[in-house]
Every structure is written in structure tokens, then in C-alpha cells.
């Protein structure tokens, strides 16, 4: 089944202890689509400025991503410049230039409005609500958010929560939104405000999914070299929703497996700058990584080194 993603399309400049990249493809919609398109059909909505290297997005079109929902506006594209220090856990934002993104009003093409799976990437919750008014009864609506919206758009965000089935957010954001230090309590608080399912992303410490009737955990893959954490959260969401969309049916077992797919995609994202790694891998590498995840927590199997 098809997934509609609405989010940012950016040019990232990133510095890590292992190297730097200038003006490479980035943004929540791009990372999501690069990841999800390995599992299912993706429709993408976002805005780019007149300076955007749209030809570089062709690699996504080749993967079957429908780019007809990308609006081209006069002006500069959204740019983010960030740096990771040695521990790689926290991005230090050096510069954010919203450019055309500051006037973005998502327009969902008629052909996208029946998408059964919808992912509202990390944008203004007011715009996320706007998107929901344009789509027709999706099977599952998921959203992401960030500290900036929790601070500046709290009431809009709370309104959004009433209309989504699932939210992904990181542990610091969950604590900030709920004012609960304990993540179990934080998740329960969020569930009581709307979404039946809450996925708390803990970066290198894995992800916890609180569903209506169960809790599921998956670790982050213990990688020997983490190159650039940018986009890992959106790649996670892409793997998660992409897998669910491929299954077609939303139930506890599929959701659990989807978390593993999300974690696998997050682990690929961090191995290279930008979406590079997703252009290298195929179904068989994904399957192998998913198997590695199962082995990592299995009490029944030996794993050859």
C-alpha cells in the first residue's frame, strides 16, 4: 500500500568527527522517502527553492517515489548546518535557514489524497493539521515533532495528537511534552491525549513502542562505526511505516516487526552522509540486517561473528 509523506526537503551541511558534507540532500521527507521506498510506494509532498538540485531527487523517483507533490517556490531552499561532537548523540545546530519553507502550505495533490498510510514529518503542527483536512480516511496517520514545536505550538500540537494514531518522538521530547521524567509515564500521558501508539526513539539506546495493549523494545544496532546520525529518526519512521504499508494490516505483531524494520533503516542511515546508504542497499541487505536484530535479542540462537 502507498505511504504519503509530508515534510521538509532540505540541503544539509554536516560536520562529524569523521568528515564533512556540504549541501547534501536532507530533510524529514527525504530521509523518510529514501527509507520507506525500499519497502513500498511513497508519495512525497514538500517545497524546494529555486536553488534546489532537483535532479538529485531523481534517485528517489527511480525507486518509485512519486515526486509530483513537490512544489517549487521562488527563493532559497531550507538549509540546515550542524555538527556532531565525539559522542554523536546530540546535533549542535550551527545554522538554520528556513527559506521557502517558512511560507510552506502543503497542498496534497488529488491523486495522493487516498493514501492509506500518512506520515506527517516534523513541521509546524498547524500544517500537519492542514494535511489531515486534505486526506480521505487513511488507515493510519503517524506524526513526528520536535522541541521547537513543543515550546512554540503546544496547543496546536495537542490538537494534532487527537487526530493521529501514532506519534514518534525522542526521549527528551517526550519528557518535555509531558513534563514526566519517567518514559513509561510519559508514554501513558501521550496516549491519554490521543495517539493509541507512542514510539519513543532513544537514538543509540534503541526505541520503545507503547501500544494499546503492549510494550515493545528494540535496541539500536551496535555499529562499530557510526558516521553521521542525521536523519536516523526519519529513516526509522520510513522503515516503520513502510513495513506496515507493505503488510497492509495494522496489528500488534506487524507493528513489532515494523519497529525492527525502522531500527534497521535507522542503522543504515547513520553509516553514511545524507541518504547515500539507502542508494546502496537492496531487499537482501535489509533482510540480513533485520535478521541481525532478531539475533541480537534472541535467547535461542548462536550468532557467528
Applying CB under 8 A, which residues contact a copy of itself? 86-88, 181-185, 188, 202, 205-206, 208, 212-219, 222-226, 252-253, 256-257, 260, 294-300, 302-305
Closer CB to a copy of itself, 133 or 304, in the complex: 304
The nearest distance, CB 166 to a copy of itself, in angstroms, is 17
Using alpha carbons only, give the angle 278, 205, 156 rounded to the nearest 5 degrees. Answer: 80
Closer CB to a copy of itself, 53 or 212, in the complex: 212
Q: Do 227 and 18 form a contact (C-beta atoms < 8 A)?
A: yes
The nearest distance, CB 261 to a copy of itself, in angstroms, is 10
Q: Which residues contact 167 (CB under 8 A, 6 or more apart)?
A: 142, 143, 144, 145, 161, 190, 195, 197, 198, 199
The nearest distance, CB 119 to a copy of itself, in angstroms, is 22
Closer CB to a copy of itself, 74 or 302, in the complex: 302
The nearest distance, CB 257 to a copy of itself, in angstroms, is 5
Closer CB to a copy of itself, 130 or 292, in the complex: 292
The nearest distance, CB 205 to a copy of itself, in angstroms, is 4
Closer CB to a copy of itself, 6 or 260, in the complex: 260
State how far the alpha carbon of 157 is from the alpha carbons of 59, 133, 161, 259, 291, in Å.
33, 15, 6, 24, 36
Residue 254: how many CB atoms within 10 A of its CB? 16
Closer CB to a copy of itself, 97 or 256, in the complex: 256
The nearest distance, CB 199 to a copy of itself, in angstroms, is 13
Amino acid at each position: 500500500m502507498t505511504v504519503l509523506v509530508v515534510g521538509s526537503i532540505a540541503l544539509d551541511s554536516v560536520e562529524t568527527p569523521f568528515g564533512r558534507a556540504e549541501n547534501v540532500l536532507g530533510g524529514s521527507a527525504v530521509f523518510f522517502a529514501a527509507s520507506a521506498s525500499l519497502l513500498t510506494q511513497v508519495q512525497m509532498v514538500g517545497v524546494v527553492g529555486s536553488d534546489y538540485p532537483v535532479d538529485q531527487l531523481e534517485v528517489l523517483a527511480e525507486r518509485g517515489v512519486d515526486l509530483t507533490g513537490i512544489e517549487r517556490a521562488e527563493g532559497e531552499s531550507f538549509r540546515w548546518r550542524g555538527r556532531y561532537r565525539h559522542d554523536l548523540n546530540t546535533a549542535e545546530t550551527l545554522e538554520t535557514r528556513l527559506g521557502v519553507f517558512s511560507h510552506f502550505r502543503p497542498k496534497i495533490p488529488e491523486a495522493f489524497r487516498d493514501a492509506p498510510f500518512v506520515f506527517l514529518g516534523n513541521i509546524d503542527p498547524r500544517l500537519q493539521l492542514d494535511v489531515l483536512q486534505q486526506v480521505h480516511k487513511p488507515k493510519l496517520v503517524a506524526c513526528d515533532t520536535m522541541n521547537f514545536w513543543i515550546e512554540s505550538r503546544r496547543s496546536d500540537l495537542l490538537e494534532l495528537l487527537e487526530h493521529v494514531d501514532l506519534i514518534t518522538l525522542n526521549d527528551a521530547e517526550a519528557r518535555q511534552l509531558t513534563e514526566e521524567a519517567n518514559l513509561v509515564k510519559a508514554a501513558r500521558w501521550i496516549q491519554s491525549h490521543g495517539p493509541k501508539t507512542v514510539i519513543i526513539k532513544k537514538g543509540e539506546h534503541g526505541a520503545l513502542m507503547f501500544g494499546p495493549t503492549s510494550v515493545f523494545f528494540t535496541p539500536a544496532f551496535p555499529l562499530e562505526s557510526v558516521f553521521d546520525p542525521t536523519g536516523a529518526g526519519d529513516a526509522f519512521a520510513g522503515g516503520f511505516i513502510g513495513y506496515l504499508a507493505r503488510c497492509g494490516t495494522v496489528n500488534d505483531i506487524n507493528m513489532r516487526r515494523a519497529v525492527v524494520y525502522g531500527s534497521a533503516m535507522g542503522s543504515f542511515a547513520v553509516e553514511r552522509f545524507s541518504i547515500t546508504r539507502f542508494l546502496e542497499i537492496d531487499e537482501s541487505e535489509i533482510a540480513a540486517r533485520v535478521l541481525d536484530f532478531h539475533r541480537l535479542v534472541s535467547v535461542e540462537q548462536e550468532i557467528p561473528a
